[in-house]
């Protein structure tokens, strides 16, 4: 626009106001018109919220396989539940929002609820304090179960036609118009039917229906021995204290039992899991005959696992099926999958050989056979065919950066890859296992859903989403491989360059870091798993950089366990290998390197700022752990052991003791209602900064928990962005 005006000025052309308005409108039209080159720029709001809203790739919402042999999958579009046949691709409208609203009790619905199939002809959903079963053939309600407004943790059994739920700390079952109260505990520190152990070990719920729905197993968690921890709600007219239970490393832990309720006799028994009381009861599995329950039990030290079998009717311990021990830790994450063709046989996932693989075991403990092998990990077990000739699974067999789906022959051990295309494939296996819905992302592919015949690998694409960023000017993303600090292992990183990158210029760098267990920030999903905010900052002239150090996931136990008893040491050393790579690039301004991360990433931000203060000019640490003695038991003790067992490790990882090293600008952030990393961590760190005369900046978010979500996150990232722009 400026060049055009200058040209007209040189030609002595007079420009009227109307011409200026026309030219401005024309330039704006060109700037964001898809006919022209990518010229739109991400706004901050789009960069923060767009990936899951306005700029989310098109998809098939609520994609499910319909049970039975009709080979139909379903999804929701325009508030209609649509069924699509696998062979002809014929679409059938199964249920609409308008149809549901004809029922007086559902007339206020604004969108079609989240639905699951309860049977071949029935869907189940929750709405208006009622659990509904709706027959899509007769267009009638087959069952409705009412529950109180404060109910939570719903668990429905189609076999029992009953709904288990919690209300405050007690457990209930609604069935046949009656409500059964399984517990009447007045003490709020004793909870029934809720998830336990702070949802570590793959635990996501607290109730478990038996296969035929005759029995309900549940957790009972006693937290009376755990100290109360105060959180303050400053939004009340007068500030209110909310007390939570937060067991810190080395302190007393809660105690858990497993109860079993019989719907016929109304009797409750408890499994005799014995002592010590503070061990972990994880991954509960019913045997197919409902006679027994198998628990994966872990000692508090988390280095000795026992797979124990119990009588579900008496609670008696029967035997230990198998054991696992480790010099570091054992982390059970998956329940068992029982064979339907071989009685007393099940499939078990373990890192016994250093990578997550699948084992075939007997319930009497007589054999344990490893099925999958290799220096790669099974990431998801999808299921087995009816004859159990084949097992279907997702794994990292091609690369730690990819996920593909395989058909594994249980007899000869050979596997066939069913998916094509470099990237991340996630599968939904049909009920009779002859078809697969493959949800696929690649570096340049936002979302593609393909129907695959598992017998002959024939494919049929059912969705190929358009790139929602096709009109936006984004910087180039480069995948980088760097050696770890010990010089032995390849580490993967991504680097986002500014749009219109000029290799002759010098650019500042913002390193975004997490670096902890159960994470992977670099893979071959869309945009290499890049954050939109990183592209937003690249557009402002920064190079955005992220590296997955040793300690992160999907690379085997040796890769992860290197962090044991010394959190922050090897992770930081690996991150510095990435920084040294950046410094070697002629277009990187090594005097302007910043770092940002949240939670474990906040801890890593402090490690980098305080261990390498000469390198990092600016840091933004959100919700950081500063002293692992103040973190909760289950996660903290897995990686650090107890403080009394590892005093030197806790001392070396304590960021408070390294405040003297701070040189650059540091912004600390925290949600004041954080129940994961309590704000005491940040407060203690700031007090030490005061003592040492170190100037830091701090911004609390009064109503938020461990992370800042919703529209307030735009404020958070605006603050972070401005901090880098002001100081870096």
What residues are labeled active site?
A: 599, 674, 706
On the CB side of 295, CA atoms within 13 Å amount to 29
Identify whether the C-beta of residue 433 lies closer than 8 Å to the C-beta of residue 427.
Answer: no
- Residues 153/207, Cβ–Cβ less than 8 Å: yes
C-alpha 639/C-alpha 633 separation (Å) is 10
Q: What distance in Å separates the CA atoms of residue 273 and residue 99, rounded to the nearest whole number? A: 50
Question: Tokens 């009227």 identify what position?
Answer: 16
The span from the CA of 115 to the CA of 112, in Å, is 8
Cβ atoms within 10 Å, residue 455:
12
What is each CA distance from 266 to 175, 194, 262, in whole angstroms? 13, 20, 5
- List % helix, strand, coil for the chain (3-state, nearest 5): 20, 35, 45
Q: Give the β-pairing of 507-512 and 543-548.
A: parallel
**Distance (Å, rounded) from C-alpha 101 to C-alpha 109?**
7
The answer to whether 706 touches 674, Cβ cutoff 8 Å, is: yes
Query: DSSP letter string over 323-377?
Result: EEE-SS--------EE-SSSTTEEEEEE-TTSS-EEEEEETTSS-EEE---SSS-
CB 349 within 8 A of CB 334: yes
Distance of CA 310 to the CA centre of its chain: 32
- In contact, 511 and 595? CB cutoff 8 Å: yes
Q: Which long-range contacts (CB under 8 A, 24 or more apart) does 482-489 make?
A: 482/547, 482/577, 482/578, 482/581, 483/577, 484/549, 484/550, 484/573, 484/574, 484/577, 485/570, 485/573, 485/574, 485/576, 485/577, 489/550, 489/555, 489/559
Helix axes 532-539, 712-727, angle to 10 degrees: 40
Q: What single-letter DSSP state applies at residue 51?
A: G
């Amino acid at each position: 626009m400026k060049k055009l005006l200058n040209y007209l000025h040189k030609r002595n052309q007079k420009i009227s106001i109307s011409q200026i308005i026309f030219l401005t409108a024309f330039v704006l039209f060109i700037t964001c018109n898809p006919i022209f080159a990518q010229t739109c720029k991400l706004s901050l709001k789009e960069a923060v919220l767009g990936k899951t809203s306005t700029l989310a790739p098109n998809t098939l919402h609520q994609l499910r396989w319909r049970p039975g042999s009709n080979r139909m999958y379903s999804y929701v579009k325009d508030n209609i539940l649509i069924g699509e046949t696998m062979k002809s691709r014929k679409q059938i409208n199964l249920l609409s929002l308008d149809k549901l609203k004809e029922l007086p009790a559902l007339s206020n619905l604004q969108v079609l609820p989240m639905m699951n199939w309860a049977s071949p002809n029935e869907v189940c959903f929750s709405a208006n304090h009622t659990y509904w079963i709706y027959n899509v053939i007769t267009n009638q309600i087959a069952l409705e179960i009412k529950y109180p407004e404060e109910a939570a943790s719903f668990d429905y059994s189609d076999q029992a036609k009953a709904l288990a739920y919690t209300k405050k700390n007690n457990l209930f079952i609604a069935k046949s118009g009656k409500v059964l109260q399984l517990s009447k505990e007045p003490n709020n520190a004793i909870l029934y039917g809720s998830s336990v152990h702070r949802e570590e070990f793959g635990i996501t719920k607290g109730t478990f229906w038996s296969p035929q729905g005759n029995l309900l197993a549940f957790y009972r968690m006693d937290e009376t021995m755990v100290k109360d921890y105060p959180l303050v709600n400053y939004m009340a007219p007068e500030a209110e204290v909310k007390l939570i239970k937060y067991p810190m490393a080395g302190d007393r832990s809660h105690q858990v039992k497993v109860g079993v309720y019989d719907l016929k006799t109304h009797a409750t028994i408890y499994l005799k899991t014995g002592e010590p009381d503070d061990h972990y009861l994880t991954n509960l599995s019913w045997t197919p005959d409902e006679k027994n329950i198998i628990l994966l039990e872990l000692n508090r030290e988390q280095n000795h696992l026992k797979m124990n079998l119990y009588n579900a009717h008496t609670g008696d311990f029967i035997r230990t099926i198998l054991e696992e021990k480790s010099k570091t830790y054992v982390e059970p994450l998956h329940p068992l999958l029982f064979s339907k063709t071989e009685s007393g046989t099940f499939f078990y996932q373990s890192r016994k050989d250093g990578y997550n693989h699948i084992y075939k075991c007997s319930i009497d403990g007589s054999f344990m056979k490893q099925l999958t092998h290799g220096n790669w990990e099974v990431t998801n077990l999808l299921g087995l065919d009816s004859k159990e000739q084949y097992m279907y699974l997702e794994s990292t067999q091609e690369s730690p950066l990819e996920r593909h789906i395989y058909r594994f022959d249980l007899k000869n051990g050979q596997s066939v890859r069913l998916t094509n295309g470099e990237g991340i494939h996630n599968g939904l296996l049909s009920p009779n296992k002859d078809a697969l819905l493959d949800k696929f992302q690649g570096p340049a592919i936002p979302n593609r859903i393909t129907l695959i015949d598992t017998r002959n690998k024939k494919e049929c694409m059912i969705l190929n989403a358009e790139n929602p960023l096709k009109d936006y000017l984004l910087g180039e993303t480069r995948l980088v491989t760097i050696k770890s600090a010990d010089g032995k292992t390849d580490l993967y990183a991504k680097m986002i360059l500014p749009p219109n990158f000029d290799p002759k210029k010098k650019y500042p760098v913002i390193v975004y870091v997490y670096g902890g267990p159960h994470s992977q920030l670099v893979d071959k999903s869309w945009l290499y798993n890049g954050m939109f905010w990183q592209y937003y900052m690249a557009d402002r002239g920064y190079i955005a950089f992220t590296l997955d150090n040793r300690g992160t996931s999907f690379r085997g136990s040796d890769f992860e366990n290197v962090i044991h008893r010394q959190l922050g040491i090897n992770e930081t050393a690996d991150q510095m290998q990435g920084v040294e790579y950046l410094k070697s690039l002629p277009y990187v301004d090594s005097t302007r390197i910043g770092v940002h991360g949240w939670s474990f990433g906040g801890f890593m931000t402090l490690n980098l700022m305080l261990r390498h203060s000469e390198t990092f000019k600016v840091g933004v640490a959100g919700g950081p752990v500063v002293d692992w003695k103040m973190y909760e038991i289950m996660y903290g003790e897995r990686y650090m052991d107890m403080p009394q067992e590892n005093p030197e490790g806790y001392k070396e990882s304590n960021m408070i003791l390294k405040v003297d090293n701070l040189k650059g600008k540091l912004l600390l952030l925290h949600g004041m209602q954080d129940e994961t990393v309590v704000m005491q961590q940040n407060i203690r760190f700031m007090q030490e900064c005061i003592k040492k005369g170190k100037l830091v900046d701090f911004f609390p978010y009064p109503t938020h928990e461990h992370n800042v979500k919703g529209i307030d996150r735009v404020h958070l990232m605006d603050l972070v962005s401005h901090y880098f722009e002001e100081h870096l």
